[in-house]
Amino acid sequence: MFRGVLWLLAGRGCVGRGLSTRSGGSTPDWTEKVSEIKKKIQSALPGGPWDPLYDTSHLPPEHSDVVIVGGGVLGLSVAYWLKRLEKPRGAIKVLVVDRDHTYSQASTGLSVGGIRVDFLRNINEYLAVVDDPPLDVQFNPSGYLLLASEKGAAIMESNVKVQRQEGAKVCLMSPEQLQNKFPWINTDGVALASYGLEGEGWFDPWCLLQGLRRKIQSLGVLFCQGEVTRFSMSSSRMQTSSGKEMTLKRIHEVHVKMDHSLEYQPVECALVINAAGAWSGQVAELAGIGKGPPGTLEGTKLPVEPRKRYVYFWHCPEGPGLETPFMADTSGAYFRREGLGHNYLGGCSPTEEEEPDPGNLEVDHDFFQDKVWPHLAHRVPAFQSLKVRSAWAGYYDYNTFDQNGVVGPHPLVVNMYFATGFSGHGLQQAPAVGRSTASL
């Protein structure tokens, strides 16, 4: 608070890496005021060498070995694993740059927190910070229940086979078994169901984000609020084994535009991690990715873009109880329980033709009436009497190619690594992807 007041007194244009004025010199009036303010500060904070008029703590450092663009769950997970795996301790300088420290549009905070591989039970083994209270991410164990129609049954069967081979405790259920286990479900049109028996559920993504932030700060990761707007790069020509000429690029500096300012700060670096979520396609473009002729490697864009998704929160006194799984219907509509008071949240992804304008995060309430509720009420007849209480929208970090994550280095911009494009399942993949990206 005190810092904030002084910042205003000093005037934004005066505080940079050092104190300067636009006309190139200080007026006597100004010098006097500055010295008066300094005296007041010194009397308020005796003994401290800190001088807020020259405070540069909001600025990024001039050098960082790794710059991570995006401080959502993916960016923070990469930062965590970089520090955790580094040898010797303190070997790597890591900077996370995010343009919005409130995360108002970040997917992480706006998601519904579902996970199919439980990495949370031992979370304090990873994220505990000495002298701080243990992290409680409000994990609610509960299986995923996926329903398949006749058309989708064979794919479900083969998916479950792979999941079991990998050690997941998942079972298949016939419509009769489904009816016995969850009598409140209408099994019309269901040919097969898969149900997770352990390690699945949901949690509070905001708590995980804050826990990761706290931990990586304690490990020495630096944060900066600002927008990455440009990269300084160099190019070199090389020939492939087939004799084709290629241009390889390397990023030398990341330009960070400071919040509420036209100023930018260059940060010299060795590696850049593009973890900008739904906006990572735009960040890739800043490095020239996709700017070459169409149909070439140089002209191939990172296929990640923001896609708006709605989440509705409703109450239904007659709705299913404590045993409610995270259910996804044959239609694509899904829901889960929220708390213990017969509250639920859910939604449905639109078809390609129905994709809403991603220009804002306004909620379309008709979408629930027309596209979500009819499916929910058909599958769970008790939901015919539900009442929507609130709703929000968030962006999927949508990979238009195959709706899966893009992980690893770019073939032409050799020091830009991706950890993005998870299209609705990035939360649960963040710990593993952070670790594998950090190991590359």
Ligand X SMILES: Cc1cc2nc3c(=O)[nH]c(=O)nc-3n(C[C@H](O)[C@H](O)[C@H](O)COP(=O)(O)OP(=O)(O)OC[C@H]3O[C@@H](n4cnc5c(N)ncnc54)[C@H](O)[C@@H]3O)c2cc1C
Nearer to ligand X, 126 or 392 (CB): 392
Do residues 307 and 395 lie in contact, with contact meaning Cβ atoms separated by under 8 Å?
yes
Nearer to ligand X, 10 or 222 (CB): 222
Give the strand pairing for 264-274 and 63-69.
parallel
Question: Is residue 64 part of the contact set for ligand X (CB under 6 A)?
Answer: no
Nearer to ligand X, 74 or 123 (CB): 74
At residue 115, φ and ψ (nearest 5 deg) are: -135, 145
Question: Is residue 427 part of the contact set for ligand X (CB under 6 A)?
Answer: yes
User: Near ligand X by CB under 6 A, which window of 13-21, 99-107, 152-160, 266-274?
Assistant: 99-107
- Of the candidates 420, 328, 370, 358, which has an alpha carbon nearest to the alpha carbon of residue 108? 420
Question: Is residue 425 part of the contact set for ligand X (CB under 6 A)?
Answer: yes
User: Near ligand X by CB under 6 A, which window of 38-46, 109-117, 189-197, 361-369?
Assistant: 109-117
The owner of tokens 């020259």 is 54
**C-alpha to C-alpha distance for 80 and 204, rounded to whole angstroms:** 19
Question: Is residue 72 part of the contact set for ligand X (CB under 6 A)?
Answer: yes
In the sheet that holds 140-141, the strands lie side by side as: 114-115, 201-202, 140-141
The owner of tokens 């559920």 is 201
Tokens of 157: 């069967």
Give the strand pairing for 144-148 and 326-328.
parallel
Q: In one letter, which amino acid is 154? A: A
Q: 312 by DSSP, 3-state: which?
A: strand
Q: In one letter, which amino acid is 363? A: V
Count residues contacting ligand X (CB under 6 A)?
41
Nearer to ligand X, 92 or 286 (CB): 286
Among 302, 420, 433, 437, binds ligand X (CB under 6 A): 420
- Of the candidates 287, 253, 282, 299, which has an alpha carbon nearest to the alpha carbon of residue 63? 253
Q: Which DSSP helix (H) or strand (E) runs through 386?
A: none
Q: 313 by DSSP, 3-state: which?
A: strand
**C-alpha to C-alpha distance for 72 and 430, rounded to whole angstroms:** 10
Question: Is residue 225 part of the contact set for ligand X (CB under 6 A)?
Answer: no
Q: How far is the CB of 423 from ligand X (least distance, A)?
A: 7
Q: How far is the CB of 47 from ligand X (least distance, A)?
A: 37
Contacts 24+ apart (CB under 8 A), 381-385: 381/184, 381/186, 382/184, 382/316, 382/318, 382/319, 382/320, 383/314, 383/316, 383/319, 385/316, 385/317, 385/318
Question: Is residue 275 part of the contact set for ligand X (CB under 6 A)?
Answer: yes
Neighbours of 281 (CB within 10 A): 24
Question: Is residue 126 part of the contact set for ligand X (CB under 6 A)?
Answer: no
Question: Is residue 312 part of the contact set for ligand X (CB under 6 A)?
Answer: no
Question: Is residue 79 part of the contact set for ligand X (CB under 6 A)?
Answer: no
User: Near ligand X by CB under 6 A, which window of 243-251, 269-277, 289-297, 408-416?
Assistant: 269-277
Question: Is residue 114 part of the contact set for ligand X (CB under 6 A)?
Answer: yes
User: Near ligand X by CB under 6 A, which window of 54-62, 288-296, 370-378, 421-429?
Assistant: 421-429
Question: Is residue 279 part of the contact set for ligand X (CB under 6 A)?
Answer: yes
For 331-384, what is the HEC assignment?
CCCEEEECCCCCEEEEECCCCHHHCCCCCCCCCCHHHHHHHHHHHHHHHCHHHH
Q: How far is the CB of 272 from ligand X (least distance, A)?
A: 11
Among 60, 330, 422, 437, binds ligand X (CB under 6 A): 422
Question: Is residue 10 part of the contact set for ligand X (CB under 6 A)?
Answer: no
Question: Is residue 73 part of the contact set for ligand X (CB under 6 A)?
Answer: yes
Interface mask toward ligand X for 194-223; x: CB under 6 A: ------------------------------
Q: Give me Rg for the CA atoms of the chain.
A: 26
| Residues 177-196, interacting with ligand X (CB under 6 A) | none
Q: How far is the CB of 103 from ligand X (least distance, A)?
A: 5
Question: Is residue 273 part of the contact set for ligand X (CB under 6 A)?
Answer: no
Nearer to ligand X, 52 or 394 (CB): 394
Among 127, 216, 278, 412, binds ligand X (CB under 6 A): 278
Among 69, 173, 327, 386, binds ligand X (CB under 6 A): 69
Nearer to ligand X, 100 or 318 (CB): 100
Among 66, 110, 178, 386, binds ligand X (CB under 6 A): 110
Among 60, 426, 431, 434, binds ligand X (CB under 6 A): 426
Q: What is the DSSP string of 119-133?
A: --TTHHHHH--TTSP
**C-alpha to C-alpha distance for 239 and 415, rounded to whole angstroms:** 19
Question: Is residue 71 part of the contact set for ligand X (CB under 6 A)?
Answer: yes
Site for ligand X, rule CB under 6 A:
69-75, 97-100, 103, 106-108, 110-114, 227-228, 275-279, 283, 309, 311, 394-397, 420, 422, 424-428
